[in-house]
């Protein structure tokens, strides 16, 4: 089993849609979790940090299920500018990135 | 604009060349990282420096040699690379090594001929 698994997508959604991504991780010692977004040919940028059961920031909600070892990212009211690859990253003794889920929002 | 600066942005080198990638941050961060990213793949951790000491080496081949001259600078020395080493090399920094809140530079895109 890979350390961090994500559905690669792409998820193609219209503007205004709600979309959710899941991420599963194998290291049960992971204490905190992070979502990064990466635009094409750009560097990853931190989107959200999750230290407890979840976090919400505007249109973005992350939820953590430690028992099942997965975290999710929900994006409401999608914008064209949300088009990117979303990388899940649990922190154990080091930060490991998942393969990423590609989101394409169309008009 | 990113507060982590990497140079050069692009580098083409032959397999016998010696070159270096440079990274600088002025956020007072005490941890710095090198990641390697191939197309359509996630960033892969190579090295972590914490308080200027190498704390993690992910079994990286010795043709990659990191150096941390001070808390603001991180170098990656390259020697006798292979074509499969062609990738985007990302530098990142964080306040400490036990956080996942990393700030990345724009990367150095390396091509090995």
The 10s digit of each residue's pLDDT in B5-55 is 999 999 999 998 999 999 999 999 999 999 999 999 999 999 999 999 999
Report the pLDDT value the prediction gives residue B107, as an integer from 0 to 100: 97
Determine, for residues A87 and B42 on separate chains, whether the beta-carbon distance falls below 8 Å. yes
B2, B48, B99: residue with CB nearest A43:
B2
Neighboring chain A residues of B91 at a CB cutoff of 8 Å: none
Do B110 and B96 touch, CB atoms closer than 8 A?
no
Q: Phi-psi category of A41—alpha, beta or left, where left has phi over 0 and alpha has psi -120 to 50?
A: left
Mean pLDDT score of chain B: 94
| Residues B3, A100: Cα–Cα separation, whole Å | 24
- pLDDT higher than threshold 80 for residue A1: no
Q: How confident is the model at residue A28 (pLDDT cuts 50, 70, 90)?
A: confident
Task: Give the rounded percent of residues in chain B with a pLDDT score beyond 70.
Answer: 98
- Is B39's Cβ below 8 Å from some Cβ in A? no
Count of A-B CB contacts under 8 Å: 43
């Amino acid at each position: 089993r890979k350390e961090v698994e994500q559905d690669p997508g792409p998820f193609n959604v219209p503007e205004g849609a709600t979309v959710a991504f899941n991420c599963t991780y194998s290291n049960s010692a992971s204490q905190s979790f992070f979502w990064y977004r990466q635009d094409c040919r750009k560097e990853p940028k931190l989107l959200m940090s999750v230290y407890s059961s979840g976090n919400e920031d505007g249109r973005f909600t992350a939820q953590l299920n430690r028992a099942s070892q997965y975290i999710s990212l929900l994006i409401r009211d999608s914008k064209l500018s949300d088009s990117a690859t979303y990388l899940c990253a649990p922190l154990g003794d080091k930060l490991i990135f998942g393969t990423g889920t590609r989101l394409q929002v169309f008009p | 604009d990113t507060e982590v600066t990497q140079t050069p942005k692009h580098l083409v080198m032959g397999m016998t060349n010696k070159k270096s990638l440079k990274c600088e941050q002025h956020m007072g961060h005490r941890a710095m990282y090198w990641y390697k990213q191939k197309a359509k793949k996630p960033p892969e951790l190579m090295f972590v420096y914490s308080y200027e000491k190498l704390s993690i080496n992910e079994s990286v081949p010795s043709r990659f040699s990191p150096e941390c001259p001070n808390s603001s600078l991180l170098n990656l020395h390259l020697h006798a690379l292979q074509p499969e080493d062609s990738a985007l090399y990302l530098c990142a920094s964080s306040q400490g090594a036990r956080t996942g809140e990393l700030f990345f530079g724009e990367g150095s895109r390396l091509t090995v001929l």
